[in-house]
Amino acid sequence: MTRLPAIHDRDLATGRAADPAAHARAVRAMFARISRHYDRLNHLLSWNCDRRWRRRAAARLDPGTVWVLDLCAGTGDLGLACLAAGRARQVVAVDFTPQMLARLAGKPGATAVRAVAGDALCLPFRDAWADALVVGFGVRNLADPTAGAREMRRVLRPGGQLLVLEFFRAEAHAAGPGRGPAAPVRKLLAGLVPCVGRLAAGDRAAYTYLPESMDRFLSAAAYRELLAQEGFADVFVERLTLGVAHLVGGRRPLA
Ligand SMILES: C[S@@+](CC[C@H](N)C(=O)[O-])C[C@H]1O[C@@H](n2cnc3c(N)ncnc32)[C@H](O)[C@@H]1O
């Protein structure tokens, strides 16, 4: 079992990793290791809610959207959900772990997806190219979420939509720390996920990362604020399944 200290060492206020290069290396190595098990464990650990959350994000896309960039695409399920919902005509799936992207091949709809190996913090695309940009459980893994938002804004066309699905840090709750409606589910995840990860994928460290990284990332409200500061308009937050996950979105302004 390998611990992943580089991933956890980040500034709680900004979400920035203390050592971005070491963080990226550790994230890539972790996803390469678990790529074979990723889809199955996602569905199992979320009781299939992950599928519903992706469908919800896809349903938010403007009808008639043509080019969708699926960032931190992993095995491609969010881009595929956009295609299945009839809300995207073409998807470009970008990820810096080729082993994850390789799992996309053969899935229904995958022929309308172009897989591109690339870093979300330095995208290999020209400015203002994408009609919409979706990110499923990816921004929490970035070494610098502010730099990530800047890069997303750069490649989106003016008026283009951004939709981010994520497990954010729990918001402070009036009833006290760790007392929100999703707190029991999060507690259960923190105990259960590493055990299931060890049994099903033989990788307790990677599956300890999931609950731990939620607590070390920004809250949904802080991420909404970050997007607004980085120039996104119409920024919103939608709670999913009592706040276990959130959908945060906005648009690159027309002007
Ligand atoms: C939790 S998986 C999410 C996969 C998929 N989007 C989903 O909905 O299940 C996170 C993915 O982000 C990718 N990733 C993390 N940091 C990245 C970066 N800087 N650039 C590109 N991909 C990155 C990882 O390789 C991994 O495949």
In a domain, 250, yes or no: no
Looking at residue 251, its pLDDT comes to 98
Percent of the chain with pLDDT over 90: 70
What was the pLDDT predicted at 1? 45
Does 98 map to a domain? yes
Q: What's the pLDDT at 205?
A: 73
User: What is the pLDDT, as a whole number, of residue 171?
Assistant: 74
Atom 1 of ligand 1, nearest CA residue: 137
Give me the DSSP letters along 143-200.
S-HHHHHHHHHHHEEEEEEEEEEE-PBPPP-TT-TT-STTHHHHHHHHHHHHHHHHHH
The phi and psi torsions of 208 (rounded to 5 degrees) equal: -80, -30
Structural domain contains residue 254? no
What value does the mean pLDDT of the chain take?
90
Q: Which of 19, 11, 16, 2 is CA-nearest to residue 208?
A: 2
What distance in angstroms lies between residue 159's CA and the mean position of ligand 1's atoms?
Answer: 25
pLDDT at 131 over 50: yes
Measured in Å, residue 102 CA sits from the centre of ligand 1 at 13
Q: Among 28, 43, 70, 96, which residue has the most ligand 1 atoms within 8 Å of its CB, making it the best to mutate?
A: 96
State whether the beta carbon of 76 lies less than 6 angstroms from ligand 1.
no
Quick one: average pLDDT of 13-29? 92
Residue 154 lies in a domain: yes
What values do phi and psi take at 249, rounded to 5?
A: -150, 175
From 36, 39, 72, the mutation candidate for ligand 1 (largest count of ligand atoms within 8 A of CB) is 72
Pocket-testing residue among 107, 113, 122, 141, ligand 1, by greatest number of atoms within 8 A of Cβ: 141
Between 160 and 242, residue with greater pLDDT? 160
Q: Model confidence over 171-226: pLDDT tens digits?
A: 765 555 566 666 777 666 666 677 777 777 777 777 777 777 888 899 999 999 99
Nearest by Cα to 160 from 111, 72, 88: 88
95 lines ligand 1 (CB under 6 A): yes
Residue 176 forms part of a structural domain: yes
Count of structural domains, the chain: 1
What tokens does 153 get?
């804004």
Q: Is the Cβ atom of 39 under 6 angstroms away from ligand 1?
A: no
- Dump pLDDT digits (tens) for 30-57: 999 999 999 998 888 888 999 999 999 9
Q: Residue 19: which CATH number?
A: 3.40.50.150
Q: Coil, strand or helix: which one is 47?
A: coil
The range of the structural domain enclosing residue 233 comes to 5-245
Q: Is residue 253 part of a domain?
A: no
